[in-house]
Amino acid sequence: MVYESFTAEIEEREFKFTASLIKLENAVFIFFDNKGNSKLGTLSIAMPQFDGKTCISSIILGTRNEVLTKILAEYFAKTFNSIALVSTHFTEISESKVSSILLKLAEKLSEKAKST
């Protein structure tokens, strides 16, 4: 199996987040966490749509941070034009406090992965 992997970090305000991306031929897997906790969290899948249609996405596992996890999955599906599975795991932090930070981290990680 051939794949590429990438990691990016962001530290903003009192938060530090890490994102890891595994890129396959037809899919990307992205894991977001804080404090170095490598754990599976709320999991969403998204598939790109063609002819200008929006992505379709669904939560597969978990209930915490559902909206943000779906948004991130749709972002990566559109960016890489492939299936995207996204996991978000961060404890004791509300989705509204970190959504803009994680979107910046997503952009940073996707730029890194697309530049190779």
Under DSSP, the state recorded for 58 is: E
Task: Report pTM.
Answer: 0.89
Query: What does the alpha-carbon distance between residue 82 and residue 80 come to, in Å, rounded to a whole number?
Result: 5
Instruction: Per-residue pLDDT tens, the chain, 116 aa: give them.
Output: 678 999 999 998 888 899 999 999 999 999 999 877 778 999 999 998 877 677 789 999 998 889 999 999 999 999 999 999 999 998 777 777 788 889 999 999 999 998 87
User: What domains are there in the chain, each with its CATH number?
Assistant: 4-114 (3.30.230.100)
